[in-house]
Amino acid sequence: MDMNYNGDVGRLDPELLQLNEVSSLAIRSNSNVADKMFDQWLSLPETNALVKSLLNKAKAGTSLNVSGATSSPKSACNNLVPPLSPRSSSGSPRITKQRTGSSVLGSPLKLITEPVKELIPQFYFQNGRPPPNELKERCLFRCNQFFYGHANGLSLDEFKPVTKEICMLPSFFSATLFKKIDIGNTGVVTRDAFVDFWVNGNMLTKDIATQIFSLLKQPDLRYLTQEDFKPMLRELLTTHPGLEFLQSTPEFQERYAETVIYRIFYYVNRTGSGHLTLRELKRGNLISAMLHADEEEDINKVLRFFSYEHFYVIYCKFWELDTDHDFLIDKENLIRYGNHALTYRIVDRIFSQVPRKFTSEVEGKMGYEDFVYFILSEEDKSSEPSLEYWFKCIDLDGNGVLTRNELQFFYEEQLHRMECMAQEPVLFEDILCQIVDMIKPQDEAYITLHDLKGNKLSGSCFNILFNLNKFMAFESRDPFLIRQERENPTLTEWDRFAHREYIRLSMEEDADDASNGSADVWDDSLEAPF
């Protein structure tokens, strides 16, 4: 059956065809495309059968159901004419409703599936990561061994092996750990109480710095204060074999503990706030020094923080300057330090409290803690705390750079002192060139703190400006001291100074004892173990 179509193709809206494979722009630009496509549709056998069926129904007077449903060899749902998309209120663009099934023209739709949700394991635990089962079982096994036969719990003396063997902490943390667990002050710690605190409290999985930080700090604070270290140091003084001789002099036990705490905060508390954070504790070398002190019977070999000889030197140097022994020193006292080595101008800057605010709370007076910070800075100008201390002193306007005028201001007094001592004066222009050559700053017009840090000669530059004795020693370059530095490269300037001073002070004390008839034999134990 041949059929002809004489419709006006020019008035055909291409969008009504809904042909995803053919662009509507192509149909508009070439009307013959739609004509040819319609002719091809009419030539299909299925189309002829459909038209005949419709004609027969029309002749018979039955209703025609022509909703557009027909069969197509390329259609999965047997639709001949696709339904029109509903128009929006403005008519264009069209809002296409989501349809189910395949395309009416046989083009398969891509099946859109929801993305697979990947389960991310928990990585944050408010109270610390729980211990793995293997680690937990091993710890519980060790607990059963130590608590076996002690159903009522362990006393403080019996608890010390638990601190060292199970918790792997220095033994002088036993009392601190014991009190953390024994909240009710019963005098004993049971197995269940220990497991609940150490294992179930997830202390087992923390690193040793975090463990010590958690044991020392107050529950409501996120930092350590000086007071937090005192219980630990009291136990160290009581139990360490190298400090037994101090038990008969409680006043020096207290001074020793104070000095250790001041040294800890000088080196570890880099912000100088008096609040030592966990980050600072991890970055410092305090934990390794604690472990060393726990293993070493000779406390003087623990050079970091705990050496008694270092305390002895600091305390004696302070006592020498404190002539009235009120535990405070003023400018006139400090100017005598190191056989009048310092200039008046640098002492004035120290007492102006620019490098560090005094804790003595007495106007014009420096306390023992302030002196500890001073002597550590003066005798080891290679350390970062020392460089920051003296940089603030020289930086008169506080703008963060040292200029030519500031350097000259402090060197003028040095130059005057050299002339008074009949020393050959060195002009400032030559000194400035020497300092620039030593520091090699990024900009020769000024020197920054960054320029000084990491430079081994930075300390010598400060000595040139305000310490005449060390300036002369640097110029003469004593070969004996150079050889000592090469033989012991791990020792700091402070270590060498403390060693020399301890020997000198011990010899003076022996000489005084001998003059009083109280010491007839030389005691080799007074010498430092270097």
Which is more confident, 137 or 109? 137
Which is more confident, 341 or 527? 341
- Per residue in 153-185, pLDDT tens? 999 999 999 999 999 999 999 999 999 999 889
- For residue 19, count other CB atoms closer than 10 A to its CB: 18
How many whole angstroms separate alpha carbon 236 and alpha carbon 328? 28
The pLDDT of residue 13 is 57
User: Who's near 191: CB < 8 A, 6+ residues apart?
Assistant: 143, 144, 147, 150, 153
Name the least confident of 125-134, 442-451, 487-496.
Answer: 125-134
pLDDT at 487 over 80: no
**Exposed e or buried b per residue across 361-379, where buried means at least 16 C-beta atoms within 10 angstroms of its C-beta:** eeeebbbbbbbbbbbbbbb
pLDDT at 520 over 90: no
- Per residue in 79-94, pLDDT tens? 444 554 455 444 444 4
The pLDDT of residue 18 is 53
**Exposed e or buried b per residue across 404-430, where buried means at least 16 C-beta atoms within 10 angstroms of its C-beta:** bebbeebbebbbebbeeeeeeebebee
Name the least confident of 309-318, 346-355, 471-480.
Answer: 471-480
Q: What is the per-residue DSSP string for 371-418?
A: HHHHHHHHH-TTSHHHHHHHHHHH-TT-SSEE-HHHHHHHHHHHHHHH
pLDDT band at 97 (very low <50, low <70, confident <90, very high): very low
Most distant pair of Cα atoms in the chain: their distance: 149
pTM of the complete model: 0.73
The percent of residues above 70 in pLDDT, for the chain, comes to 78
pLDDT band at 45 (very low <50, low <70, confident <90, very high): confident
> Measuring CA to CA, which residue among 115, 57, 103 is closest to residue 77?
103
The pLDDT of residue 387 is 95
What secondary structure, in 3-state letters, does 69-95 show? ECCCCCCCCCECCCCCCCCCCCCCCCC
